[in-house]
Amino acid sequence: MRVSTALPWLALAGVVGYISWNDSWPGRHVVGQPALPHEYAMPAGNAAVSGPISYAPAVARAAPAVVNIYTTQTVREQSSPLLEHPWFRFHGEQLPRERTASSLGSGVIVSADGYILTNDHVVASADSIVVALNDGREVPAKVIGTDPDTDLAVLRIALDKLPVLPFKTSPSAVGDVVLAIGNPFGVGQTVTQGIISAIGRSGLGINTYEDFVQTDAAINPGNSGGALIDVSGNLIGINSAIYSRSGGSMGIGFAIPAPSARQVMQEIIANGRVVRGWLGVEISSRAESDSVPSRGTSSDVLIAGVLPGGPGAKSGLHAGDQLLSVDGQSVTSPDQVIRQIGGLKPGDDAEVIILRAGKAQTLKVTMGERPKPRSKAE
């Protein structure tokens, strides 16, 4: 849910929101290199577990590739209806209808020739973007492409031989130590430390496609688009959102995992956008469709609506069908189905097994291309 172009929010028990800072709403918060210590095995018996004395080598490796991003945009003011009266227009003082608002966030250099990953909400609707490097240089940036469905954007600056933050290739696990690097509140580059609290977080309603890494490393306004790294200085994720009742960090932050960010980045660089599969159906859980009786199956994922003339309608899908599997993968949740469909390409054929009137049926569907505007339909 978005309430502004620069800083969307979502209310849960408190607030889940993006973590950029915008001065139009003061005080609001949203969500060769040296050899380094890499993994720590649990010792046998009752021996104490030891970790690195300092994370300084990891920070020294990663910090030069984390940048500050400053944007400006023109905001149109809402005028009072009273001031639209002809007397005020001809005799009264004309009030300005537009003003310039500025906001800030962070970004990660992912290629030596100037490509930068950040959040879409950091640069959305920006009229100008300036990137401040760790070495003090400031340069304008160009938007190569954005993907609002994952809240990612790719920028490029006209510099080369830049420091790069490498993507982590090995799996991460709950309990791994992580460091968050960004520019909270505009005070300058800041590092905080915590652990991975959970992986695969979804169903938060922040983005269309969710598969977050959750961390308790402190992240605050201005950290949006910054780096979540491991103790070897590799990129684990792009910090994107926080959960908070107070508006500040409460130890629940969310980062877009590095594999997802890299895939989106590669597609944007290659095509200027991300092309995803689309069925033209609305997916819901049984809890959201109380009128549909339980049929005693393990899947609680239903088709709540079908777009007339869409790929799903052409394949014979109906509202009320219960999804059992898509393209050979068992259905577990609406979010999993949405991600799976989005991972297919337009023109791909897939088998969809449904339960209708108590009987399982297998349908062949041909994926369409997901429309550019965001919607609940998949």
DSSP three-state, residue 337: helix
Q: For residues 3 and 122, give the distance between their C-alpha atoms in angstroms, rounded to a whole number.
A: 14
Tokens matching residue 328: 């050979």
* β-pair partners for 152: 147
For residues 191 and 180, the answer to whether their CB atoms sit within 8 Å is: yes
Task: Report DSSP state, residue 288.
Answer: G
Q: How far is CA 15 from its chain centroid?
A: 16
Cα 225 to Cα 32: distance, rounded to the nearest angstrom: 26
CA distance 241 to 112: 27
Measure the CA–CA gap between 366 and 350, rounded to whole angstroms.
6
- In whole angstroms, how far apart are CA 4 and each of 125, 152, 183? 10, 17, 21
Which of 121, 176, 244, 249 is catalytic? The answer is 121
Distance CA 227, CA 203 (A): 23
**Is the CB of residue 66 less than 8 Å from the CB of residue 226?**
yes
Nearest Cα to Cα of residue 214 among 247, 257, 185: 257
Calculate Rg over the CA atoms of the chain.
23
Of the listed 151, 211, 230, 335, which one is catalytic? 151
- Report the candidate in 77, 68, 132 with the shortest Cα–Cα distance to residue 100: 77
224 is catalytic: yes
**Annotated catalytic residue, options 197, 224, 232, 315:** 224
Q: Is 286 exposed, middle or buried (0-12, 13-18, 19+ CB in 10 A)?
A: middle
Single-letter amino acid, residue 32: G
Is there a catalytic annotation at residue 121?
yes
Taking a C-beta distance cutoff of 8 angstroms, is the pair 256, 147 a contact? no
How far, in Å, CA of 183 to CA of 122, rounded? Answer: 12
- Residues 333/301, Cβ–Cβ less than 8 Å: yes
Assess whether 325 carries a catalytic annotation. Answer: no
Active site residues: 121, 151, 224
